[in-house]
């Protein structure tokens, strides 16, 4: 499929890099960040610890970055709030603690560092309006949310760049709900219907609003089946992050990679196999190599264009398995650079 003739752009990560998707188990941010810095030295990321409760989860954490759109917990769900309150303060406190640890542990780091946040469509499908229903029901609210998110993430990125002046920043937008949004499969609160379909060009416009605002390379992550690669490309993302086990049709992926899209390849399972042991680094590397070979691209491009990751977040795994998986991903990335 791949001719290999088209010039491949320089990618904003080192060859043979590996990274995590974001979440880890536990509640100790210092320990989690130390693990990441130690096991993923080429491309570390800001740890996410959802076990700490509301405000540490993906939706609450990202909602806390919104500009002039306060949120609160209501009946176990995040919804828009009339004014900032204790829930908003809790989100801010957790993020401040996390950034302090990143600043301390990556003080002299000179490579790329990855941040993660929910993308606009997953946020719109998860946040409730005060009057009821998801924000997704109101196209005007979605536009307002997207613009607020874009500005909030611009400020977040700038804050990290200020704290880590020698590092470069990458931003991952987590969009697990994007395929369901595009297919009209987000259920209404009654469960009897679904919100209207969002078409691909509109979805790409929303993502592109964020991509263009933050001013750093953006990876769109979706660990659900049927990742909409054309939407990711039209959003001008630098890379897509996906679970390799969900790839069924090679053609769209091959076309996207041929056009210069980077791939964060979810090649290591997030749960232990039946025998309880993580895949070896050789097995993880082999999964990426086999895909690359099936696509027909030159082997020399593989370590440049592909970053090895777990299939998705690791919050549900035990600590021993997490360490094994991150080490396997790191060593698999290095194996890809070997001739």
- Residue 8's pLDDT is 52
CA distance 175 to 222: 5
Per-position pLDDT tens, the chain of length 339: 444 444 456 899 999 999 999 999 999 999 999 999 999 999 999 999 999 999 999 999 999 999 999 999 999 999 999 999 999 999 999 999 999 999 999 999 999 999 999 999 999 999 999 998 999 999 999 999 999 999 999 999 999 999 999 999 999 999 999 999 999 999 998 878 899 999 999 999 999 999 999 999 999 999 999 999 999 999 999 999 999 999 999 999 999 999 999 999 999 999 887 777 789 999 999 999 999 999 999 999 999 999 999 999 999 999 999 999 999 999 999 999 996
Token reading at 164: 């880590």
CA distance 311 to 313: 7
Those residues with Cβ within 8 angstroms of residue 168's Cβ, 6 or more apart along the chain or in another chain? 12, 111, 112, 113, 216
Partner residues linked to 220 by β-bridges: 173, 240
Closest CA to 242 of 295, 172, 184: 172
Q: CB count, 10 Å around CB of 236?
A: 13
**Backbone dihedral angles phi then psi of residue 193, each to the nearest 5 degrees:** -140, -170
- Whether the CB-CB separation of 63 and 149 falls below 8 Å is answered with no
Q: CB count, 10 Å around CB of 191?
A: 7
**What are the structural domain ranges in the chain?**
31-260
> Which CATH fold would you assign to the domain 31-260?
TIM Barrel (3.20.20)
pTM metric for this prediction: 0.95
Closest CA to 78 of 102, 53, 60: 60
Closest CA to 200 of 179, 218, 221, 220: 179
Partner residues linked to 80 by β-bridges: 71
**Quick one: DSSP state of residue 226?**
S
Q: Which residues of 52-61 are buried (b: 16+ CB within 10 A; e: fewer)?
A: bebbbbbbbb
CA distance 99 to 30: 10
């Amino acid at each position: 499929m791949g001719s290999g003739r088209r010039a491949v752009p320089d990618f904003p990560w080192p060859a043979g890099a590996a990274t995590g998707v974001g979440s880890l188990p536990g509640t100790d941010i210092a320990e989690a960040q130390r693990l990441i810095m130690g096991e993923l030295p080429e491309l570390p990321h800001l740890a996410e610890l959802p076990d700490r409760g509301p405000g540490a989860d993906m939706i609450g954490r990202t909602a806390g970055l919104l500009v002039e759109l306060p949120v609160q917990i209501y009946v176990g769900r995040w919804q828009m709030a009339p004014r900032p309150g204790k829930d908003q303060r809790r989100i801010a406190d957790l993020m401040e603690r996390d950034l302090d640890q990143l600043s301390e542990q990556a003080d002299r780091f000179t490579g790329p560092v990855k941040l993660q946040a929910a993308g606009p469509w997953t946020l719109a499908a998860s946040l409730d309006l005060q009057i009821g229903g998801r924000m997704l029901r109101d196209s005007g609210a979605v536009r307002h949310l997207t613009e607020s998110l874009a500005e909030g993430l611009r400020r977040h990125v700038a804050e990290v760049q200020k704290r880590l002046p020698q590092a470069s920043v990458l931003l991952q937008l987590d969009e697990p709900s994007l395929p369901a949004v595009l297919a009209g499969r987000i259920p209404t609160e009654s469960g009897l219907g679904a919100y209207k379909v969002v078409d691909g060009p509109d979805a790409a416009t929303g993502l592109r609003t964020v991509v263009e605002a933050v001013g750093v390379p953006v990876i769109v992550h979706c660990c659900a089946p049927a990742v909409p690669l054309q939407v990711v490309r039209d959003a001008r993302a630098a890379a897509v992050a996906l679970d390799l086990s969900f790839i069924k049709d090679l053609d769209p992926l091959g076309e996207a990679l041929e056009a210069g899209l980077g791939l964060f390849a979810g090649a290591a399972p997030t749960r232990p196999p039946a025998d309880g042991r993580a895949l070896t680094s050789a097995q993880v590397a082999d999964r990426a190599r086999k895909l690359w070979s099936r696509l027909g691209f030159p082997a020399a491009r593989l370590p440049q264009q592909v970053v090895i990751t777990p299939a998705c977040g690791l919050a549900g795994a035990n600590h021993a398995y997490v360490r094994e998986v991150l080490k396997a991903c790191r060593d698999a990335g290095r194996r890809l650079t070997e001739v």
